[in-house]
Amino acid sequence: MTDKELQTARLLRYMKGLPKGVGITQKEAINDLGIYRLASRICDLKQMGVPVESRFKKVKTRYGETSVKEYWLGAK
C-alpha cells in the first residue's frame, strides 16, 4: 500500500470511531493522524463512495476567531 492509501484507510477508521455528528478538522488530522493534506484524503474517500459531509466551524485562535472546515461521515 502507498502512503496515500494508508492515510486514507487510517482516516476512515478514525472517522468511523467518532460519535455521530462529530467531525475532524485539519489540526486534528495533523495532531492525531499525521495527515497534512486532509482535503485530499477526503476527496479520496468520496471517490471510493464514502459519504462525507462538511461544514465550516468557528474556532478561537490567539488572534481572535477563524473558520475551519470540519468533515464527518454522512448517512449512506
Inter-residue contact 55 to 62 (CB < 8 Å): no
Position 75 scores a pLDDT of 82
Evaluate whether the domain defined by 3-73 bears CATH number 1.10.10: yes
* pTM of the predicted model as reported, rounded to 2 decimal places: 0.91
pLDDT digits (tens, 9 = 90+) for 36-49: 999 999 999 999 99
Q: In what order do the strands lie in the sheet with 64-73?
A: 24-25, 64-73, 52-61
Residue ranges per domain, the chain?
Answer: 3-73
